[in-house]
Amino acid sequence: MAKPGEKKLQILQTLAVMLEDPKGEKITTAALAARLNCSEAALYRHFASKAQMFEGLIEFIETSLFGVINQISAEEAQGLQQVEHILALLLNFSQRNRGMTKVLTGDALVNENERLQTRINQLHDKIEAVLKQALRVAATQEQIAVTADFGALANVLLCYIIGRWQQYAKSGFTREPMTHWPQQWPMLCVACLSQRSA
């Protein structure tokens, strides 16, 4: 007999695996139930709707990412190093979780309940806010200018991350997000340092 929550987790894991299909076909509850060898009614005993299943995946993403981001913010004193570690985390998470990448880009949410895309937009906003805060820390340490436009810089960094996620998903998971990271971080760093006081 499965423990409470075990079946729920199994459903979410199976959904995430199905999202890894490079062809990106729409996932139906019938296909999900077939993969799990159960009825659609059995799925609805654990989730009220398919939207709720996607919400479960988004909650997993948030918990996973922000658990580590909070740790980075607490343990890494240098602002620019915080930025570097957060960006590397976001790329790494995507590379290791193909199905979740499609959720992060919103690709998996097309034709689903619009509140799901709103949740992902809010997640992006939270990431941008964390990057902005790390840049402010860098400014207090005189790594970048206190007059720098932290909002604009944080947005550029977020757009870079979303672009790498998109490229990964659209390439059928062949163009990995961490490819070129060692070369690209110094380039991004230059954009941040260009904001240093003269």
Rg (CA), the chain: 19
**1 belongs to a structural domain:** no
Instruction: State the CATH number of the domain containing residue 16.
Output: 1.10.357.10
Count CA within 13 A, CB hemisphere, residue 196: 12
How many domains does the chain contain in total?
1
Q: What is the per-residue DSSP string for 2-50?
A: PPTTHHHHHHHHHHHHHTT-TT-PPPPHHHHHHHTTS-HHHHHTT-SSH
pTM above 0.85, yes or no: yes
Residue 80 structural domain: 6-193
- Residue pLDDT, tens place only, 125-175: 999 999 999 999 999 999 998 888 999 999 999 999 999 999 999 999 999
* Phi and psi angles of residue 45, each rounded to the nearest 5 degrees, phi first: -75, -25
C-beta of residue 104 within 8 angstroms of C-beta of residue 64? no
Whether 198 maps to a domain, the answer reads no
Least confident segment among 7-21, 83-97, 126-140: 7-21
Would you say residue 114 lies in a domain? yes
Whether residue 167 is contained in a domain is answered as yes
Let me know if residue 44 belongs to a domain: yes
